[in-house]
Amino acid sequence: MPASGTFTLGKKERIAGKKLVETLFKGGVSRSMSCYPLRAVYALVPTDSDGSSMKMMVSVPKRCFRRAVKRNRVKRQVREAYRMQKSLVSQLMDKHPQQTLAIAFIWLSDQLFDSKYIEQRVATLLNRIGETL
Higher pLDDT, 28 or 116: 116
pLDDT given for residue 2 in this prediction = 47
State yes or no: pLDDT of 1 exceeds 70: no
62 pLDDT band (50/70/90 cuts)? very high
State yes or no: pLDDT of 15 exceeds 70: yes
Residues near 89 by Cβ (< 8 Å), separated by ≥ 6? Answer: 54, 101, 126, 129, 130, 133
Strands 31-35, 54-59: pairing is unpaired
Cα 15 to its chain centre, rounded Å, is 9
Cα 1 to its chain centre, rounded Å, is 24
What are 35's strand-pairing partners? 38
Kindly list the distances between the CA atom of residue 40 and the CA atoms of 1, 4, 30, 49, 73, in Å, as whole numbers in the listed order: 29, 27, 10, 25, 18
Q: Is 124 exposed, middle or buried (0-12, 13-18, 19+ CB in 10 A)?
A: middle
4 pLDDT band (50/70/90 cuts)? very low
What are 38's strand-pairing partners? 35, 107
pLDDT given for residue 5 in this prediction = 55
Once rounded to an integer, what is the mean pLDDT over residues 2-18? Answer: 78
97 pLDDT band (50/70/90 cuts)? confident
